[in-house]
Amino acid sequence: MATKCAVHKLVADIAIRADDRVLFVKYEDVSRYDGQRGWFPPDDYLGHLEHPDEAAKRIATTQAGLASVVPKLSHIESFGDGAWHLIFHHRADLKAAPHVAPGPNVAALEWFPRSRLPDRSTMAHDGWAADVLDAMDRRGSD
């Protein structure tokens, strides 16, 4: 059985985009999310020995009911904040916005126009999700 590491945090997230909209989630139990109650791109810790691409697929499936999403790695973010965070940012670009269904621990699930994201004050970590999307846009879709 794997033990919880207090030194490293391996995280995957996925920006799911469709019709110039982006899917965001809010979590019920925020203990795994640094106590943050704001909007996030769907994300989670990697499971023990889980590949980041597989984690992104799992996250799309379990948090939004989107089993057919094919994530592509956009970029990797690394920073220290008590623990070393290594975040694998994925994206999935869909032709049309599918029906989504909130999974366990998802309090809210909503599509937002890319040009009218929620106010940074309502996003987790002071608008961090908007910064991630901006970085993805600078890198392009391929």
pLDDT in tens, the chain (142 residues): 455 667 778 999 999 999 999 999 999 998 888 778 899 999 999 999 999 999 999 999 999 999 999 999 999 999 887 788 889 999 999 999 999 999 999 999 999 999 999 999 999 988 999 999 999 999 876 5
CATH number at residue 72: 3.90.79.10
Which residues share a beta bridge with 1?
none
Whether 96 maps to a domain, the answer reads yes
Per-residue DSSP letters for 52-97? HHHHHHHHHHHHH--TT---EEEEEEEEEESEEEEEEEEEEEESS-
Structural domain count, the chain: 1
**What does DSSP say about strands 72-81 and 83-94: parallel, antiparallel, or unpaired?**
antiparallel
CA–CA distance, 69 with 55 (Å, rounded to integer)? 12
Whether 2 maps to a domain, the answer reads no
